[in-house]
Chains A and B, each alone.
Chain A
Amino acid sequence: MFKLFEKKGFWALLFTALILILVIKLGSSNSQSLSGASQLVRETYAPLQKGVDLVQQGLIHIGTKLLGVQSLEERLQAEADKNQQLSLENMQLRQYKAEVERLRALLDYQNAQSAQYTLEATRVIARGANNWYNTLTIDKGTDFGLAVNMPVITPEGLVGKIINVSSNSAQVLLITDRELAVGAILQQTRENRGIVEGVGNGQLKMINIPYYSPVQEGEPVVTSGLSQVYPPGIQIGTVITIQKEANGLVQSAYVQPAVNFNRLEEVLVIKAFRAVTQPAEKGV
């Protein structure tokens, strides 16, 4: 009997069994028991991830400057290289311009929506740790009033919602994730019984559309606002293909997301929103 305790394999199995019990008891995403440890782990990474983000930005600037120095040396040999220098400067300016435009668009959107939404602008500092979950990490947390279930958007459309938050960072579950479902409405047909969910590969699928609904390709899909999480009217994407389900009672539509998730750098968190029909509805 005691020889069993001396076997390393026994301890390995016991350790795995304990983790199995943890999964059963505490493994749900809403569990509070492990949230402290989880927050601590993310807080460890947040400053490093912010640092990498800053370094990446810096490297881009240094790269363009180094290229600029190189072209100056070449310019001494030939007058024609002047054009190259100008084009490099132009490239740098275009980069600044793009950044200014992005930030201006965010600001304009924030100002335009200020009557309806209370928004917090944040920066994306990291992406999901594995390929099973489509998540990203933003650089603000509870210190800025962010909380779980707050919707995250860009001026282009819906990004997802916050699923975990610590004092200085928050994790956003993207709408392309297989576990996230959003109540949606087809903007032209006004069909509001659909649910949009992620299907992997960065695409979305709107399910539960009645067979008689005259849904068309290219039709915009927006949030229905039927849930307490997402305000109505936020762009989700555009219908690209429609298919009848085997039971013949419903059809589904593949939706191209409005947001390009590979190029997200800044996002807006809706801290609170007022519904159009109901006064002062809380967004969380």
Chain B
Amino acid sequence: MRSLILLLLPFLALFFQTTLFRAIPIHGIVPDLLLILVIFYAVFSGSTKGAVYGAACGLWEDLYLGRMIGISAISKGITAYIMGKMEGPVFKDNILVGIIGVVSGTIINSLIIIIISFIGIKGFGLDKNMLAELIYQGIYNTIIATPIYIWYFRSSGAGLLKEEGLLR
């Protein structure tokens, strides 16, 4: 059941990102539901599993977008690997873990995309709009991530996302 849900969630995340949330943007920015999902998975499951799941989700997004295939896979994979380091030392019942995880994950993910774009796209340059977009993205992601974190925490403890044999 857990595996099925984990397969279904990225599919739904991308679907809602491209439809419902596009109707309610903040300064033209929509939340990155896929990234939020990847961060939470990494925080609860650790770096290794997080990196694989993040890369797979990123690749799914890349295939949907059809351009620069691999860029989201790498950025989400690395972001998940870094965020997965939070798995052991933090108390996940604290909502701040989710908020800090999403804010820092959004920044890390954006930085990786910018670095790859610098290397891969000819003429790519930084501009002040990117910083504004990053701030709005961080704010929007945090707003959306808060209820999702509560659901994820409860589900991983005694719900759809509970791991067999583990008391999480």
Which of under 10, 10 to 19, 20 to 34, or 35 or more describes the interface residues of A?
A: 35 or more
Q: Are A132 and B113 in contact (CB under 8 A)?
A: yes
Are A38 and B69 interface neighbours, CB within 8 A? yes
| Cβ A27 vs Cβ B63 within 8 A | no
Q: Check A130–B74 contact: CB distance below 8 A.
A: no
B91 near A: Cβ within 8 Å?
A: no
User: Given known contacts A135-B65, A201-B28, A201-B132, is B49 in contact with A129 (CB within 8 Å)?
Assistant: no
Flag A63-96 by CB within 8 Å of B: 1 or 0 each: 0000000000000000000000000000000000
What B residues does A107 contact at CB under 8 A? none
Q: Are B74 and A19 in contact, with the CB atoms below 8 A? A: yes
Give Cα distance in the complex from A89 to B18, angstroms: 32
Report chain A residues within 8 Å CB of B68.
23, 27-29
| Interface presence of B124 (CB below 8 A) | yes
Residue contact B129 to A16, C-beta cutoff 8 Å: no
Contact of A11 among B14, B34, B52 (CB under 8 A): B52
Main secondary structure of the interface of B (DSSP, over half): helix
B18 touches A128 (CB 8 A): yes
Listed from nearest, the 8 A-B pairs whose CB atoms lie closest are A23-B70, A200-B129, A127-B22, A164-B66, A126-B18, A29-B67, A38-B66, A201-B129
Residues of A within 8 A of B (CB): 8-9, 11-13, 15-16, 19-20, 22-23, 26-29, 31, 34-35, 37-42, 45, 48-49, 52-53, 56, 126-133, 135, 137, 163-164, 171, 178-179, 199-203, 262
- In the bound complex, residues from chain B placing their C-beta under 8 Å from that of A179 are 121
B145 to A: closest C-beta gap in Å: 15
Closest residue to B23 on the A side, CB-wise? A56
Tell me if A131 and B120 are in contact (CB < 8 A).
no
Choose among A35, A130, A203 the residue that contacts B32 (Cβ–Cβ < 8 A): A130
| Stretch among B54-62, B95-103, B159-167 lining the A interface | B54-62
A202 to B129, CA, bound (A): 10
CB neighbours (8 Å) of A28 from chain B are: 68
